């Protein structure tokens, strides 16, 4: 049964209505904010299992349907980018009525409206042949190389496309950290574990206790190593520097 034109227009104008009606996905408040955002550059600093991949997959699908063009899904490895791609195509294949696919394989699909979704690993050489993307979604952005980011930026400068970078933190280094701290013209969305309704308080308390036990063990190991260094006059790597102590 064809989609009602008035409803289709409503979905085009409101991505939240689109995911609720066609994907049967009820977004959290921060997910609704992301879906409705028109910002050209968004950073998502989110804990694991918060739903960031699901939400950005929905953004990618909505873009493909209502603002068709090239959409790149970039991750540190090909396996990771294929996982994100699989979320998008999973949504796509569940749509009723179904969308017509002109091309469909494990790393790329093309829709009849001209949209094309491509998954890529975090290697600058894989960008050759692609230009003018409407949207780039970068998964685990804190772990994607600075060289890859430097290769992506010129593509967006020409196309005026959007960039969504999502990640959990990876220390105070790299382009994701620097942009989170100092980036200009960027929308930042941060979600921690206790703000996600799907992550229970009991689980978070268990994880906190595990981290404390692990930290105690590391501190004890460092004390032993420092003692050995003094006793045996050994040049031993100083783990305290790595721990910020």
Q: Where are the domains of the chain?
A: 5-195, 201-242
Alpha helices in the chain (DSSP H): 5-13, 15-22, 29-36, 52-66, 78-94, 146-159, 174-182, 201-232, 239-242
CB atoms within 10 A of CB 195: 14
The reported pLDDT for the residue numbered 214 is: 58
The reported pLDDT for the residue numbered 150 is: 86
Question: What is the three-class DSSP state of 80?
Answer: helix
Instruction: Retrieve residue 18's tokens.
Output: 């689109």
Range 167-192 burial, b when 16+ CB lie within 10 A, else e: bbeeeeebbbbebbeeeeeebebebe
Per-residue pLDDT of 12-54, as tens digits, reads 999 999 999 999 999 999 999 999 999 999 999 988 778 899 9
The reported pLDDT for the residue numbered 182 is: 94
Confidence of residue 245 (pLDDT cuts 50, 70, 90): very low
The reported pLDDT for the residue numbered 236 is: 43
pLDDT higher than 50, residue 80: yes
Instruction: Retrieve residue 210's tokens.
Output: 């595990």
d(CA 57, CA 129): 23
pLDDT higher than 90, residue 149: no
Per-residue pLDDT of 210-243, as tens digits, reads 666 655 665 566 555 543 443 333 334 444 444 3
d(CA 26, CA 54): 11
* Mean pLDDT computed over every residue of the chain: 83
d(CA 232, CA 84): 51
The reported pLDDT for the residue numbered 12 is: 95
Q: Which residue has the higher pLDDT, 219 or 149?
A: 149
The reported pLDDT for the residue numbered 155 is: 86
pLDDT higher than 50, residue 56: yes
Distances (CA, A) of 152 to 25, 135, 209: 31, 11, 40
Distances (CA, A) of 111 to 1, 63, 199: 19, 12, 36
Confidence of residue 79 (pLDDT cuts 50, 70, 90): confident
d(CA 103, CA 92): 13
Question: What is the three-class DSSP state of 187?
Answer: strand
Instruction: Retrieve residue 217's tokens.
Output: 């063990």
pLDDT higher than 70, residue 204: no
Summarize the confidence of residues 100-127 as an average pLDDT: 88
Pairing of strands 108-111, 101-104: antiparallel
Judge whether 11 and 19 are in contact, CB under 8 Å.
Answer: no
Confidence of residue 244 (pLDDT cuts 50, 70, 90): very low
Q: Which residue has the higher pLDDT, 157 or 15?
A: 15
Q: Which residue has the higher pLDDT, 31 or 126?
A: 31
d(CA 101, CA 76): 27
CATH number of 5-195: 3.40.50.300
The reported pLDDT for the residue numbered 49 is: 79
Q: Which of 23-27, 115-119, 181-185, 209-213 has the lowest mean pLDDT?
A: 209-213
């Amino acid at each position: 049964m064809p989609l009602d034109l008035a409803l289709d227009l409503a979905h085009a104008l409101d991505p939240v209505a689109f995911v609720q009606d066609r994907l049967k996905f009820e977004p959290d408040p921060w997910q609704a904010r992301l879906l409705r955002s028109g910002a050209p550059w968004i950073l998502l600093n989110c804990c694991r299992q918060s739903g960031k991949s699901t939400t950005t997959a929905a953004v990618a699908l909505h873009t493909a349907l209502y603002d068709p063009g090239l959409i790149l899904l970039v991750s540190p490895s090909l396996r990771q980018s294929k996982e994100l791609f699989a979320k998008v195509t999973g949504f796509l294949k569940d749509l009723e009525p179904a969308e017509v696919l002109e091309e469909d394989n494990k790393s790329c699909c093309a829709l009849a409206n001209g949209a094309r979704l491509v998954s890529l690993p975090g290697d600058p050489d894989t960008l050759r042949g692609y230009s003018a993307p409407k949207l780039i979604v970068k998964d685990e952005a804190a772990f994607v190389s600075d060289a890859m980011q430097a290769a992506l930026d010129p593509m967006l400068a020409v196309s005026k496309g959007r960039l969504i970078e999502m990640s959990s933190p990876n220390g105070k280094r790299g382009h994701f950290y620097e942009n989170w701290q100092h980036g200009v013209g960027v929308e930042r969305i941060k979600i921690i574990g206790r703000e996600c309704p799907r992550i229970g308080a009991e689980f978070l308390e268990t994880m906190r206790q595990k981290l404390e036990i692990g930290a105690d063990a590391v501190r004890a190991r460092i004390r032993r190593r420092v003692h050995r260094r003094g006793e045996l006059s050994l040049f031993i790597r100083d783990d305290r520097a790595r721990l910020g102590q």
